[in-house]
Amino acid sequence: MNATLRELLATESSVLLHGYTSAQGDAETRKTVADNIRERFGVNISPDLIYMTCGAAASLSISLKAIIEEGKRDEFIVFAPFFTEYRVFIENAGGKVVISEPEEKTFQINLSDLEAKINEKTKAIILNSPNNPSGVVYTEETIKGVADILDRKSKEYGAPIYLIADEPYRELVYGDVFVPYLMNYYRDTVVCYSFSKSLSLPGERIGYIAVSPNMQDARGVYLSVCGAGRSLGYVCAPSLMQQLVKKCINAKVNIKAYKKNRDLLYGSLTSYGYECVKPDGAFYLFVKSPSGDAYEFYERAKAHEILVVPCDDFGVKGYVRIAYCTDYERVVGALPAFSALAKEYGL
Ligand code: PLP
């Protein structure tokens, strides 16, 4: 990728690299993204349904603002455990956060809980798979169940309930785990994508929104996305990065390095007696506090120079998140401390 960047800087005009693109993004970049979605997932999407953004955070903020009906206090369902920023994005757009509880132990979506949480105010659900913080990938069966509920409830209330697919970790999966492409399962889907994790360049701020062509009012929703992007000031995503996306759309992350860390950390922690969900994707391990108290675990881990994130605010109490997007040597080096801490707890 560095070579591609050097080549770009040497050969392209400075206006193309550093000037404004059109508000929704460079036309050729949007075509590259649309072609990529068609080739990989079989969805026949036009570049005119793609909006380039400064990463998934912008994709989500824009999408929420695009679909919310102002002043109505629309509800948005998130699935625990969830990325805490959803609360900020939803409330900033004027919406209300509704939390759906997960299935115990597997952390898959609890379909009956989802159905019970939907009402006439539900505007959308946000689905994040592979999941931050659990690393869980929702199964195809789960996704079909979600789509079925949304279909029925949209009909019952006479308005679409949107499915916002937050997908920064799509490419980070281990083994042959299948990550369903949500546009293929549910009509009213908006995909919020980011290259932050798939190209491992979160500081460069580049991603996109893709509005499903199967949506009844795809063009109307896309125009709302453009309007929301404009009013939030999220226009003309970084030009240099848009040019890079054109060249690197099929670049693959070194998944082996993450898998090596995952295998070592998960295998070791469970052998010490910790209870954790085996992550099929992303680069997080979701670990249950041996005392049941996430903050107490965080403090005791800190005394061993281990930094974990207490996850009560992610919607599930008593768990912490460990990020293993780091050097293998650092994971190896942390194991004696995890082992000592396990002994302290009498595991
Ligand atoms: N969504 C989830 C689930 C995330 O974990 C993150 C970042 O960690 C984001 C969105 C934001 O991604 P970006 O850095 O592309 O804005």
Q: Which atom of ligand 1 is nearest to the CA of 59?
A: 16
* pLDDT of residue 80 exceeding 90: yes
pLDDT at position 121: 97
Q: Which atom of ligand 1 is nearest to the CA of 206?
A: 15
Residue 38 CA to ligand 1 center (angstroms) comes to 24
pLDDT at position 10: 86
* pLDDT of residue 70 exceeding 90: no
**Among 88, 266, 74, 104, residue whose Cα is nearest residue 174:** 266
Residue 168 CA to ligand 1 center (angstroms) comes to 6
**For a substitution probing ligand 1, which of 194, 245, 283 has the most ligand atoms within 8 Å of its CB?**
194
- In angstroms, the CA 174 to CA 262 distance is 9
Are 304 and 341 in contact by the 8 Å Cβ rule? The answer is yes
Residue 57 CA to ligand 1 center (angstroms) comes to 6
pLDDT at position 71: 86
Fold of 255-344: Aspartate Aminotransferase, domain 1 (3.90.1150)
Residue 194 CA to ligand 1 center (angstroms) comes to 7
Q: Which helix (H) or strand (E) holds 139?
A: none
- In angstroms, the CA 184 to CA 191 distance is 11
Residue 245 CA to ligand 1 center (angstroms) comes to 18
Burial group, residue 232, by CB count within 10 angstroms (0-12, 13-18, 19+): middle
Are 280 and 135 in contact by the 8 Å Cβ rule? The answer is yes
pLDDT tens digits, residue range 108-156? 999 999 999 999 999 999 999 999 999 999 999 999 999 999 999 999 9
* pLDDT of residue 14 exceeding 90: no
pLDDT at position 238: 96
pLDDT at position 284: 97
Q: Which atom of ligand 1 is nearest to the CA of 57?
A: 16
pLDDT tens digits, residue range 182-228? 999 999 999 999 999 998 899 999 999 999 999 999 999 999 999 99
Q: How far apart are the first and last CA of the chain?
A: 45
Quote the percentage of the chain above a pLDDT of 70. Answer: 100
Residue 125 CA to ligand 1 center (angstroms) comes to 16
Q: What residue has token string 């499915």? A: 163
- In angstroms, the CA 104 to CA 109 distance is 9
* pLDDT of residue 1 exceeding 90: no
**Among 142, 220, 165, 217, residue whose Cα is nearest residue 41:** 165
Taking the domains of the chain in order of start, what are their residue ranges? 3-248, 255-344
**For a substitution probing ligand 1, which of 53, 129, 196 has the most ligand atoms within 8 Å of its CB?**
196
Average pLDDT, the chain: 96
Instruction: Kindly report the protein residue whose alpha carbon is nearest to atom 12 of ligand 1.
Output: 56
Q: What's the pLDDT band for 296 if we cut at 50, 70, 90?
A: very high
pLDDT tens digits, residue range 231-288? 999 999 999 999 999 999 999 889 999 999 999 999 999 999 999 989 999 999 999 9
Residue 274 CA to ligand 1 center (angstroms) comes to 27
Ligand 1-lining residues (CB < 6 angstroms):
55-57, 83, 128, 132, 166, 168, 194, 196, 202, 207
Q: 3-248 maps to which CATH number?
A: 3.40.640.10
Name the pTM for this structure.
Answer: 0.96
